[in-house]
Structure formats: C-alpha cells, structure tokens
Structure 1
Amino acid sequence: MGSRLKEIKEELEKLDINPTIFARKEIHALPDILSVDERIAYLVEGRNKTTQHHIILVATDRRLMFVDKEFMYGLTVEDYSYTKISSIQYETAMMLASIDIQVSDDLVEIDGVGKYEAKLFCEKVRDFMSRPEEYIKHTPEPSHLDQLEQLGRLKESGILSEEEFNEQKKKIIDKL
C-alpha cells in the first residue's frame, strides 16, 4: 500500500469513518486525486440518484468532491469550491438519509447515506461554506496544464484507460 493511501486511511480512522468494501475502489483512487497537503474533513458513501452508482462524497479543507470509480466506466471526479455551493441539505428516511447539494446550476443528489453520517457531513460542509474565503486554504483553480498532468498520472497509475484519458484530455483542450 502506498504511503499516501496509508495516510488517508489513518485520517479516516481518526475521523471515525469506516468505509464499506463498496467504497474501496474510490478510496484507492484518492491518493491520485488529493493534493499532497490536502486534508479530508469528512467522507460519506452513498448512491448517486442519477446513475445509481455507489460513490463517495469527500469534504476536504479545500473543496467538496464526488468520486465514482466504476469497473466499466473508469473514474469520475467532480469537485466544487465551497464558495460555489449555494446549499446543502439532508433528508432522513427510516434508516438512511439523502444529501442534496446545490452547486451553481447543478443539483447533486446522493441517497443511501447513513443518517448520522449525512448530518455530520452537512455540518462540516456548512462550516466551510460559512468561512470567509481567506480561511479556506486557497489554491488557485488548477490550470489546464495542471489538469493534463493529473490526467497523465491517473493514466500511468492505471486508473484511467487510454480511451478515458483521451476523452478527458479532449474536454480540457476544448475549454482552451
């Protein structure tokens, strides 16, 4: 196990987060996604209401991330700056909860989250949302070159296939 993955697992343990076996692929992708000094504030797992995929939501000291590592479809990572989140709420049913996050024009809906974990996660994210911007570890938006370098690392480590790499690369280049 890589040292960064070991650090991440220790961080989760300290936060009393015990991911299920279903989150293993996403957790193993985190060392390639997180910046070296980026810290996890909280993490929950659930199901994306749209795709029905098992995913993890990660709140770090810099951003909110949605990570989906599907066997056939490769890796999907969406990240949002706390300043772009207009609301986060959770709704509880019998045993589980759902989390709705409004980011700009997108609504991210996750269900199948533990009740207690959903409440804690929303509280952590609201803490970051309410902080003045200078308190959030400010890193500039990654440049197109940074994004391409990260893609290259994901491909080299076998997380992305050649096809997925080319597809993501095209999206970045099209933004130029």
Structure 2
Amino acid sequence: MSEKSRLDEIKEELEKLDINPTIFARKEIRELPEILSKDEKIVYLIEGRNKTTKHHIILVATDRRLIFVDKEFMYGLKVEDFSYDKVSSIQYEKEFMLASIDIHISENVLEIDGVGKYYAELFCEKVRNFMARPKETFQPKSEPTVLDQLEQLGRLKESGVLTEEEFAEQKQKLLEKLK
C-alpha cells in the first residue's frame, strides 16, 4: 500500500471517529503513515501544546500504544511512544475554554495544554480503558511450543493437507529441535 493511500485511510479513520484536527496538526498527521503499524488503529487523537517545549503536538491513542508526535520546522520530527502498561495515570484539568492533560509514565510527567475541554476528557477516558486491560494484552504472543506444533501437524495430516510422508518429515524436524 502506498504512503498516500495509508494517509487517506488515516484521515478516513479520524473522520469516522468524528475527529477534525486543525490546520496546525497537518504536519504531524502527514507523518502518521510512517509511525503507525500497518494494522494499528487510532482510538482517539487530540492536539495541544507541549508545556515544556511550547510546540504544537498531536497525541494519538491507538489500540496498542500512546504516541506523541511533534513535527517542528527547525528540528524535524520527534516521536515518543509508550505502551499502556507503562502509563501509571492520566488526568485532565479544565480551565476556562481549554484543558490540560498530565500523563505519568515511569518517572516522567508529560504535560500537554491547550486541549479542548471536551476532547481532553474523552481522550483520558479512552486511554484509561486501555490502561485497565490485563497486562497480558500488551505482551507479545509467545512462540508456539514444539508440542503445539506437533498437534498442528497432526491436525493437518488428519485433514488431508499433509501426506503421511510430509507429516513424518516435519515431525522429525520438530523432534530434532528438542535434542
């Protein structure tokens, strides 16, 4: 899939989520095809200002991780991402027209301000839903054991996908791994 069509996919995804980024987020959104995995889905996206650097950023919650994207003209692209099991807390504080969000990750606090009040609340809610998931959902799946692979071979032989010869050959290879 080309980068252009992936960007179009991302824009459609944002539209379906009823997320309408401002013109100020355009640079960061253009970088998302290179940042997101092919099958990674955006859960929510907000834009704001990094309190430390004063740069305009986007904060993306996906089905896998939390991503900060800062694309500034002078120094290039800065991307930080964190798995949800590393986030210890997320909170927002409403001000007159806008809100700020504090995200506690390990020993750091990332502070974003200039976020719309409604969007800050919704974003925090979405992230908390992922934080509440069991830790195992963020762990990479383990490789199948030799026993699992042998069982799979048996099923393939029984269903006629493998001949007796192919089954014996593959079984022998697996058993040699045990030695």
Fold shared by both chains (TM-score > 0.5): yes
Q: Gapped runs of 5+ residues in structure 1?
A: 141-176
Query: What is the TM-score of this pair, normalised by structure 2?
Result: 0.75
Does residue 104 in structure 1 map to residue 91 in structure 2?
no
The match for 1:77 among 57, 76, 79 is 79
The match for 1:66 among 65, 68, 72 is 68
- Poorly superposed stretches of 4+, deviation over 6 Å: none
The superposition leaves residues 86-129 of structure 1 with CA deviations (integer Å, 9 ceiling, x where unpaired) of: 00000000000000000001100000000000000000000000
Q: Give the match for residue 132 of structure 1.
A: 134
Are the aligned partners of 2:83 and 2:138 in contact in 1 as well (CA < 8 Å)?
no
CA distance in 2, matches of 1:124, 1:133: 17
CA distance in 2, matches of 1:99, 1:122: 8
Written as runs of structure 1 = structure 2, the 5 A alignment for 1:88-167 is 88-136=90-138, 138=140
Are the aligned partners of 2:98 and 2:116 in contact in 1 as well (CA < 8 Å)?
yes
Larger radius of gyration: 2
CA distance in 2, matches of 1:24, 1:82: 26
CA distance in 1, matches of 2:124, 2:59: 11
Q: Gapped runs of 5+ residues in structure 2?
A: 143-179
**Relative contact order, higher structure (CA 8 A, sep 6+):** 1
CA distance in 2, matches of 1:53, 1:105: 22
Equivalent position SS for 2:81? strand
Residue identity (%): 74
Query: What is the TM-score of this pair, normalised by structure 1?
Result: 0.77
* TM-aligned CA distance change 1:137 to 1:26, over 3 Å: farther
